[in-house]
Amino acid sequence: MNTTALPARTEVAIVGAGPAGLALAVTLAASGIDFVVLDKLAEGANTSRAAVVHARTLEVLDELGASEELIARGIKVTRFAVRDGARRLLTVPFDKLPTPHPYTLMVPQYETESVLLDRLRALGGDVHRPHEVTSVVQDEEGVTLTTSTGQTLRAGYAVGTDGMHSTVREASGIGFTGNAYAESFVLADVVMDWAPGPIEVSLTFGVAGLTVVAPLPNNHYRVVATVNAAPETPDLAFVQQLLDERAPGQAKVTGLAWSSRFRVHHRVADHYRAGRVLLAGDAAHVHSPAGGQGMNTGIQDGYALGQAFATGQLDGYEARRRPIAQRVVAFTDRMTRIATTRNSFARGARNIVLPLLGHTGLPKKLATELAELNYR
């Protein structure tokens, strides 16, 4: 933890030290631009929200000098399997994609943050903790940030990478248009015997909702599922029952590392810039976890914004990144609605059509979209 006093001034103040904020900081550090990263937590989170790092993000991490270490900490998965119960409907392959990383890397978010922080420190930077920003006021000359302890930081620009409930976004007056899904989501990291094994990510459709099971390092699995009414902290028995109902006979849960319940929104900021205030990551866009796009889009935001600062092309940042967020939100929303439909006719049609589409160019198209290679 860096408890040193805040400097009086910097060129770029980054509020939030998640993946997007760290990617921005590393990009600025590599470009020699002065910055300060502030985060309200005393230390980085040690729980695992996002767990998927797609090919385009790995290409960005190549540029930042952070991919090799992250790859060493993760598991490479070359396909997603779409199922209805135990029946396989479609396989989405990643191993033929035109990229140096023809796979999806499964790795807990705290590892991604750890690798980015190590890279930032190697470049001479760090995160200032704990500093909760409570006020962001801009004028023609710059931005003044005030923390909960009354400290102030003067910056040329302020960037909100402080999540869905962004203080920076709210202070800027930028709207956050969208809605919440009716269902809640359960997230759990477990140790279990899983019949499909650790070679693929399984997206399972069902009347009860969408269930995703993905391998993680150290023989763990990530389980994400839509649930009408879930306990705040699902226990092992709850996760076992959920999998028994949705993937009968395929899972035996023997350990629970951690779990959570959360609501999911699909929203995009009305703008990515208001004067000297800019947004990236979850402060700019949130959406369904289907496909694991969120952290990836955020890291790419951070890199793109850092390059925009380095090249003096800030005016082009929103035009470049906001349409991508709109596309990701629309894509993940379609995936979620297709997966969670309770209309019996729609489910039947879906389960007939998807296997047929497996013999077309759709699987490769889906893999390219999920890998975010269209966003280069």
pLDDT tens column, 227-281: 887 888 999 999 999 999 999 999 999 999 999 998 888 999 999 999 999 999 9
Write out pLDDT tens, residues 164-189. Answer: 999 999 999 999 999 988 778 899 99
Q: How far apart are CA 332 and CA 291, in angstroms?
A: 7
Neighbours of 142 (CB within 10 A): 17
Residue 354 has pLDDT above 50, yes or no: yes
Write out pLDDT tens, residues 63-79. Answer: 999 999 999 999 999 99
Write out pLDDT tens, residues 311-334. Answer: 999 999 999 999 999 999 998 888
Q: How far apart are CA 47 and CA 189, in angstroms?
A: 9
Lowest mean pLDDT among 65-69, 222-226, 227-231, 336-340: 336-340
Q: How far apart are CA 352 and CA 365, in angstroms?
A: 19
pLDDT above 90: percentage of residues in the chain: 76
Q: Are strands 87-93 and 35-38 parallel, antiparallel or unpaired?
A: unpaired
Torsion region of 59: left, alpha or beta (phi above 0 gives left; psi -120 to 50 gives alpha)? alpha
Query: Which pLDDT belongs to residue 182?
Result: 78
Of the CA atoms within 13 Å of residue 179, those in its CB half-sphere come to 5
Q: How far apart are CA 296 and CA 376, in angstroms?
A: 12
pTM of the predicted protein model = 0.94
Helices (H), 173-249: 236-246
Q: Are strands 251-269 and 176-194 parallel, antiparallel or unpaired?
A: antiparallel
SS (H, E, C) 17-81: CCHHHHHHHHHHHHHCCCEEEECCCCCCCCCCCCCEECHHHHHHHHHHCCHHHHHHHCEEECEEE
Q: How far apart are CA 89 and CA 80, in angstroms?
A: 11
Contact criterion met (CB below 8 Å) for 287 and 324 = no
Residue 1's pLDDT band, with cuts at 50, 70 and 90, is very low
